[in-house]
Every structure is written in C-alpha cells, then in structure tokens.
Amino acid sequence: MTSGRAAAFLDRDGTITSERGYVTRPEDVALIDGAAAAIRELNEAGILAVIVSNQSGVARGLMSEEDMAAVHAATESLLAAKGAQLSGAYYCPNHPNGTLERYTRDATCRKPALGMLELAIRDLDIDVAQSTMVGDQVTDVEFANRAGIPAVLVMTGKGAAHLELARERGLSVAAQVSDLGAAVRWIIDGRQKWEPESEE
C-alpha cells in the first residue's frame, strides 16, 4: 500500500541527542548540533520524524519508565524550542540480560526486531516503502535491512565503529553521513535513487 506518509525513523542517542551512555535524567539531555534544524527540515518536507529507540537502562534497573518518559519529554522540549516537532516516539525498555524480571526478555520491540516499526505504521499511517532509518548503531542498520528500507548511518555517536560492524556482518548501508543534517539531505535529495539490494 502506498496511501500512507513517508517517515524518517530516527534513533535517539548518538543521532539526535549526544551519546552519554545511559541518559536517565532530563537535565542530562543535550541535542547534537544541527539535529533540531534537521528535524525541522523533515517537518517542512512533510516527512514524519519518528523516534525508535532501545532503552535497556530500564531493564538494567538504571531508570524507571517514568524516568524514560521524562527524558523523552526533555528531548521534545529542546526540539520544540528550535521549531522542530516529532510525529511519534517509540521506546523499548526490555533487554534479555536485564536485572529486573519484568523487563528481562528479548522482546519484539527491541531493535533490530520490527515491533516499534509495526506500531508506528499502525499509529501514524506510514508508507514503509517510502521511509528511511537513520541511526548510529549496527542494530539500526539491521532494523532497516529487515524492514526493506534504506539505512543511513551517521558518524555521530557510535557511527564510525558500527560502520565496521555492519560491514563485517554483511549488512547493507545505503549511506554513511556526518550527522542527522546530512542524513536528511540524503533522504530529501537522494532517497529516490536508492534501490534495495537484490538477493542472490
């Protein structure tokens, strides 16, 4: 179906916000330079900006779901102050090696599984075939590959190291770019030229 809207699925830490390990407090949230302007550009182009983020700090007992929500609210507030809006945000608090039994499982929401993508499609009427994943980790690349959409790997956060991991695992990276601003330019100017790799 092609009736839905194009989306940019965005990892948060290392892509939109500075990579600081487990960010558990709103006051520790800091936007990467240019991230708000990039999301504003998506807004102006009519492309949905949707966070999909693993947050295993909850499963590890480092923060509660309420803390996670407060950190997200701070992220939205910082973006809004610069005229940028998110269309949706999805977080997975689970991890198979967690310390809290409630969250200790390999849940279908956790990237590279596609649970968050499926929720976003349902909630936001997204045309996944016209969408893109932007992140800084190999799980973001695999997420995109499983969904059949281009993976744009930013070199902010853990991007440089995870580019090598993606190559070692035979994953497809559609573009490697400096930051979210460059990723958005690729989405707007170059995505139409992307074709999925054919399976042998």
CA distance 130 to 6: 5
What is the model's pLDDT at position 106? 82
- H or E segment and range at residue 7: strand 7-10
- Return phi, psi of residue 166, to 5°: -60, -45
What is the model's pLDDT at position 171? 97
Report cis status (omega within 30 of 0) of the bond before 196.
Answer: no
- Return phi, psi of residue 9, to 5°: -80, 125
What is the model's pLDDT at position 199? 55
Task: Could you please state the CATH topology (level 3) that the domain comprising 7-131 is classified under.
Answer: Rossmann fold (3.40.50)
Closest CA to 38 of 49, 26, 29: 49
pTM (2 d.p.): 0.93
What is the model's pLDDT at position 198? 63
**Token pair 């999909």: residue:** 52
Segments in the chain below pLDDT 50: 1, 200
What is the model's pLDDT at position 24? 92
What is the model's pLDDT at position 20? 87
What is the model's pLDDT at position 164? 93
- Rounded alpha-carbon distances, angstroms, from residue 75 to 18, 71, 134, 164: 11, 6, 17, 29
- H or E segment and range at residue 160: helix 159-168
